Structure 1
Amino acid sequence: MATVELTEDNLPEILNAPGIVIIDFWAGWCIPCRVFSRIYESMSTKHPDIVFGKVNTEVELNLTLAFKVTTLPTLMVFRDGHVVYAQPGAMRSRDLAHLIGAARELDMDEVRRRR
Structure 2
Amino acid sequence: MATIELTSENFNDIVTGSGTIMIDFWAEWCGPCRMFAPVFEKASEQHQDITFGKVDTQAQLELAQAFDISSIPTLMVIRDGVMLYAEAGALPAPMLEELIGKVQDVDMDQVRAEIAQNEQAQ
The one-letter amino acid paired with 1:54 is: K
Q: Which amino acid aligns with 1:66?
A: A
Report what 2:50 is aligned to.
50
1:27 alignment partner in structure 2: 27
SS in 1 for 2:84: strand
Residue 81 (structure 2) pairs with residue 81 (structure 1): yes
Identity over aligned pairs, percent: 48
**Deviation of 1:112 (Å):** 1.1
Could you say what the CA RMSD is over the residues aligned between the two structures, in angstroms?
A: 0.6
| 1:6 partner letter | L
What is the one-letter code of the residue matched to 1:13? Answer: D
Counterpart-to-counterpart distance in 1, 2:110 and 2:66: 26
How many angstroms apart in 2 are the aligned matches of 1:70 and 1:59? 15
Which residue identity lines up with residue 33 of structure 1 in the other structure?
C
Any idea what SS the aligned residue of 1:77 has? strand
Q: Distance in 1 between matches of 2:110 and 2:87?
A: 21
What residue identity is the alignment partner of 2:47? Answer: H
For the pair shown, which has the larger CA radius of gyration, 1 or 2?
2
Q: Which amino acid aligns with 2:52?
A: F
1:14 to partner: Cα distance: 0.6
Aligned length: 115
SS at match of 2:78: strand
Instruction: Encode CA deviations 1:67-111: one digit per residue, 9 max, x unaligned.
Output: 110000000000001000000000000100010001100010111
Please list every run of 5 or more consecutive structure 2 residues that lacks an aligned counterpart in the other structure: 116-122
Amino acid at match of 1:94: P
